[in-house]
Each structure stands twice: as C-alpha cells, then as structure tokens.
Amino acid sequence: MSQQSPTFIQKSLAWSVHIFTASGLVCGFLAILAINEKDWRMAMMWLIVALIIDGVDGTFARIFKVKEMLPNVDGQSIDYVIDFATYAIIPAYFFYEAVLVPEIWRFPCTAAILLVSALYYGKQGMVSDDMYFIGFPVMWNMVVFYLVFVWPQIPMLNVALIFIFCILHFVPIKFVYPSQTTRFFTLTLSATIFFFLSLILIVFYYPERKLWTIVISYLCILYYAGMAIYNTWFEKPQER
C-alpha cells in the first residue's frame, strides 16, 4: 500500500494539470458569452486568463512529470484544441461582433483569420528545432486586443492589418516562443511579464485609456518585433 499511494498521488496531480489545461476552454466559452453581450472588457479578460493558463501549464506538466504519469493521454493534442479555439475561432468571432472594419469587409476578414489559422496549424515546422515560431503564430487574440483596446479606430487600416498578419503566417520569420526559446530567456520573460501586466491593466481601465499602460504594451510589441528581426536575419548559428 505504501508503494501505491505515491503513484496514485502522482497520477492525480498529473490529471489535475490536464484539467487545468482544459480549463482554458471554459474560459473561452465564458468569453463567447461576454461577446454575445457586447461586453468587450470581460470577453478579453477571459481570453487573457486562457492565455495565462496556456503560458504556465507546460511548466506544471514538467514539474509533475505528466508524460511519465499518464503516457496514454496526449496533453499536446488537448493543448492544440484549446489553443485553436482561444487563439483563432473565438478571437475571429470577437472581431466579427466588434465591427472593427467596414461592413463589406467583416466576413472576408473573419474568414481569412480562420482559414490561415487552420493552414498554419497544418504546416510542418510550425516551431523550429531551436524553439522559435516560424511565421506569425496564431495569436489573433492579441491582434483583436490591439484593434479594440489600443490602436486607433481606423476601419480600413484594420482591414490592411488583418491581411498583413494573415500573410505573415507564411513568411519564414522567427518569432520568439516566450516559454521555450532559450536565447535571451530572462529578457524575454521580463518583457512577457510586463506585457501581461499591461494587457490586464488596459482591459481593467477600459474604456478609459491610461497612457503609461499603452506605452508599455507598445514597448513590449517593439521588443518582440525587434527580436524577430534579429533572430531571422542577424543571429549567427554558433551563438545558439
């Protein structure tokens, strides 16, 4: 009995990690309910919670050795299902309902978001061997966040931005994978923490806009863009 008890505890902890991961889908559903009510603030807050869950569940999985404890449960498949819902489908619905572009462009832009997201998930080499996203990752939740809460409301500019990000899915640019990329890990982790804080504060204060929170969010985006340029065109193989 003494030998079986730790195994039961370990498996229970492993299952709790999978349940924690799956809770991101519940957050996504709550975001849908908020979108239906035109409550953009609460809808984005639920998507941010889902994003945070996705950002930390891998750490818990490693701590509790989930793959070893539950070898017949594919956590990555669970993660993919939730990510596609909370990073593509629900943000596309958010975009459509928020009417961020001229009426004639609402459905074409929404359809483009969904189509390119599905194609991106299907391509080989979505993540490189050195743990970078190749092409703009499916992060339409963040695109919608900036369109609704940060960027100026210029409908035709929003149309252009949607199609620019659609194209960037298939341009071989190396985007930082914050929880996995090892180069400049501490700096990237710090930028990511500040980024999350700015997201939460911007949504919390909405519709009021605090300049300092907007500035932080822009600086974080500039950091990620700068790192993408550096990693793609200037990083030398021997530095990895």
pLDDT in tens, 93-116: 999 999 999 999 999 999 999 999
In a domain, 202, yes or no: yes
**The pLDDT value given to residue 236:** 66
Q: How many domains does the chain have?
A: 1
In a domain, 172, yes or no: yes
Residues 6 or more apart whose CB falls under 8 angstroms from that of 75 comprise 17, 18, 21, 61, 66, 67
Domain extent, residue 115, equals 4-235
Average pLDDT taken over every residue of the chain: 90
pTM for the predicted model, two decimal places: 0.90
pLDDT in tens, 160-210: 999 999 999 999 999 988 877 778 888 998 999 999 999 999 999 999 989
Strand, helix or coil for residue 125: coil
**HSE (side-chain half, CA atoms, 13 Å) at 122:** 6
- Helix ranges restricted to H, 123-207: 140-145, 155-168, 185-205
Scan for tokens 């969904």, then name that residue.
114
In a domain, 240, yes or no: no
In a domain, 33, yes or no: yes
In a domain, 35, yes or no: yes
